[in-house]
Amino acid sequence: MIKHEHLSLKYMRREVLPTAFCPGCYNGIVMNALFQAFEELGIYDLRKYVFVSGIGCSSWIPSPYIKADSLHTLHGRAIPVATGVKLANPELEVIVIGGDGDLASIGGNHLLHAARRNMDLVVIMINNLVYGMTRGQAAPTTPKGMVTPTTPYGNPEEPMDVARLIANTNANYVARWCVSQYLFLKNSFKKVLGEIKRGFRFIEVYAPCTTFVIRRENKTPGQKLKELMNTCIGYEKWEKLPAEERTKHIPTGVFREEDKPGFLDNYKQLIARLKR
Amino acid sequence: MKRMFLSGNEAVAYGAIDAGCRFYAGYPITPSSEIMHMMAKLLPEAGGVFIQAEDELAAINMIIGASWAGLKSMAATSGPGFSLMQEGIGYAVMTETPLVIVDVMRAGPATGQATKAAQGDLMQTRWGRHGDQYLVVLAPESPQEAYDLIIEAFNISESLRTPVVFLMDEFIGHGREVVFRKEPGEIKLVERRRSSDHEPLFGSDDPRIPPPMPRLGEGYYVLVTGSTHNEYGYRDVHSFETHYKLVRRLKEKIWGNIDKVFKYEVIGDPGRAEKAIVCFGSTCRSAKEAVMGLDNVLLIRLITLWPLNYDLLRELLSNVRLVVVPELSLGQLIYDVQQVIDSGIKVVGVNKVGGGVPIYPSEIKKALEV
């Protein structure tokens, strides 16, 4: 009998499996897309990759599940730690994986400034719409009107469109995909890992929390995934929709794509000027 | 040896460069900014990296990342920024990350008086963070000592794999004196112990010996986490044994090495003295002038403020009947003195803070006359 192994396993620490994620959690889809991107690029060993994460469910993806160096940092501080690692050793490829609460709320300032600097990092933000690890409280990405433990009468606030916000900075690459758009997501990962290898590269993954969003809607993760296939549309199409229709859809796509010098290139130039 | 005329802040920057510091992240704040200005100039020349962070939260976390990637790293700040850095310093304690954090104290609380000296952050350097955590705190009294001691601060942080807080105040930071800068060959430098195979990175049989620390990217698949972890770095947020073992070891790593890190200066004869002064930092300069010509007064200047050798302090103060504790705050070091003396002995604080007014030698002299 031929023993067939799942491709993800060679990138994971087997001794800590199974994962702590809820059944049906979309984190698995994101991990799979990332690992498939690595495999298709012919990268089988992650020893020159450093994963940095903060606090939250998605921050547990690298720590401890990915077999690579990983720093599981304070809530919101993954990007500054990653910045320190990258600047101290530019040979390392540094990838931040975090949630919307971690990266856009408590760590929002760092996200903006790393993007402004075009810091040489890959940042993957898994947007599950709530604080999933602490029982689904409202996050800055929670849709208006949604009921959560901290918004028992409906969320009075407008949500933040993180990908389109970062697209207005100096970042080299900004994209957003839903978990239902697996191939696009995987190709975006391939793009930022294999092609555009410098500057700030930001990928938002729209992946509602299985337990605290989808179950509250009385749906299964599978049903929700089918629904997302209609909810998530290309942003060119979304922009042509009437205002009331726009709120019902998620604009996805690549919002920004460039290969201009990142922070490190500019810093190296400064050093070269100094030596002259 | 090179003779220079430097402020304490500038001396810290030169000392850090000479100690091998090659990464600096910071956010401008009075009265520490000159350290940042100097590092911005010196680090690119020395082949290091300087970055101006968006805030102190970023600064402390950037130096944590840089330290794990293998560079000796530093950040400098003052009270408000030091408050913002506390969570990160706690993370550095938990993950055993070598760092040096300079706090040039100004009058607080809150924004207080940004340009005026104070010593009110002493307790915060020790207890500013949540949970059971210990680190090393050093305090110089002059620009020359700031230069020499910052090198020592890096050596301690490397040898014990711990953050070290370097506590100065505005008087020392902005005071300008002659400083002798050493040549590279004249400086003894300590480097962190690198990894050998199969040795756990977060545990050791003897808690006084810190575990080795690899650089990221060397193939150790390092797991660094601020959550409770076992000796291999795996998170364990449920068991009593793992947590208790970890925090006990981290405590013992600092207190068990007290003989190596505890530094102090004594002027006078502990056997003959009837009175004593206990002080740290810039106030010791007034105290030294106050005791000139007095042979019955013992002056104890604490250079290491944490861990504090209470036994030694008790022994030194065993014969006196009066202790004066001058502080540019409403009184924090005085609690340490009260802890080690018998109830019959009088402890008097000389406390002044704000307006950039120093404690004058005459005021200390007057307190000694009680």
A-B contacts (CB, under 8 Å):
131
Give the distance from CA A121 to its chain's centroid. Answer: 12
CA atoms of B278 and B317, how far apart (whole Å): 10
Locate A253 and state its tokens.
Answer: 């796509």
CB A124 within 8 A of CB A133: no
Q: Which residue of chain A has the CA closest to B56?
A: A80
| Residues with Cβ within 8 Å of residue B142, at least 6 apart in sequence | B8, B172, B175, B177, B285
Owner of token pair 């690992």: A35
Specify the DSSP class assigned to residue A12.
B
Q: Does A84 touch chain B (CB under 8 A)?
A: yes
3-class state of residue B25 by DSSP: strand
Give start-end residues of each CATH 3.40.50.920 domain in chain B. Answer: 265-368
Q: How close does chain B come to A235, measured CA to CA in Å?
A: 31
Q: How close does chain B come to A113, measured CA to CA in Å?
A: 7
CA atoms of B258 and B136, how far apart (whole Å): 10
Mutation site, A50, A66, A77, A169, interface B, largest B CB count within 10 A: A77
For residue B23, list chain A residues with Cβ-Cβ distance below 8 A.
Answer: 84, 87-88
Locate B139 and state its tokens.
Answer: 């305090």
Q: Does B52 touch chain A (CB under 8 A)?
A: no
Q: How close does chain A come to B23, measured CA to CA in Å?
A: 7
Question: Can you give the pLDDT at residue A275?
Answer: 83
pTM assigned to the model: 0.97
Q: Does A81 touch chain B (CB under 8 A)?
A: yes
Each residue's pLDDT tens digit, A64-113:
999 999 999 999 999 999 999 999 999 999 999 999 999 999 999 999 99
- Report angle CA A77, B45, B146 to the nearest 5 degrees: 75
Question: What DSSP assignment string belongs to A219-236?
Answer: --HHHHHHHHHHHEEEHH
Question: Can you give the pLDDT at residue B229?
Answer: 98
A50–B87: do the CB atoms touch at under 8 Å? Answer: no
Each residue's pLDDT tens digit, A137-171:
999 999 999 999 999 999 999 999 999 999 999 99
Q: Tens of pLDDT along chain B (370 residues)? A: 999 999 999 999 999 999 999 999 999 999 999 999 999 999 999 999 999 999 999 999 999 999 999 999 999 999 999 999 999 999 999 999 999 999 999 999 999 999 999 999 999 999 999 999 999 999 999 999 999 999 999 999 999 999 999 999 999 999 999 999 999 999 999 999 997 777 899 999 999 999 999 999 999 999 999 999 999 999 999 999 999 999 999 999 999 999 999 999 999 999 999 999 999 999 999 999 999 999 999 999 999 999 999 999 999 999 999 999 999 999 999 999 999 998 889 999 999 999 999 999 999 999 999 7
Give the distance from CA B151 to its chain's centroid. Answer: 12
- ipTM, two decimals, is 0.97
CATH T-level fold of B2-186: Rossmann fold (3.40.50)
For residue A69, list chain B residues with Cβ-Cβ distance below 8 A.
Answer: 216-217, 220-222
For residue B57, list chain A residues with Cβ-Cβ distance below 8 A.
Answer: 76-77, 80, 109-110
Give the distance from CA B113 to its chain's centroid. Answer: 22
Q: Does A91 touch chain B (CB under 8 A)?
A: yes
Q: Which helix (H) or strand (E) covers residue B74, if one does? A: strand B72-77
CATH T-level fold of B265-368: Rossmann fold (3.40.50)
B223–A63: do the CB atoms touch at under 8 Å? Answer: yes
What one-letter code names the amino acid at A256? R
| Residues with Cβ within 8 Å of residue B18, at least 6 apart in sequence | B147, B151, B181, B182, B184, B187
Domains annotated for chain A, with CATH where assigned, are 21-275 (3.40.50.970)
Q: Does A247 touch chain B (CB under 8 A)?
A: no
Each residue's pLDDT tens digit, B89-121:
999 999 999 999 999 999 999 999 999 999 999
Locate B62 and state its tokens.
Answer: 């950037």
Specify the DSSP class assigned to residue A42.
T
For residue A92, list chain B residues with Cβ-Cβ distance below 8 A.
Answer: 69, 216-217
For residue B226, list chain A residues with Cβ-Cβ distance below 8 A.
Answer: 72-74
Q: Does A36 touch chain B (CB under 8 A)?
A: no
Q: Which residue of chain B has the CA closest to A82?
A: B65
Q: How close does chain A come to B309, measured CA to CA in Å?
A: 32
A63–B225: do the CB atoms touch at under 8 Å? Answer: yes
For residue A77, list chain B residues with Cβ-Cβ distance below 8 A.
Answer: 57-58, 61, 88, 91
Give start-end residues of each CATH 3.40.50.970 domain in chain B. Answer: 2-186
Closest C-alpha to B101, from B173, B24, B202: B24
Locate B63 and state its tokens.
Answer: 């130096």
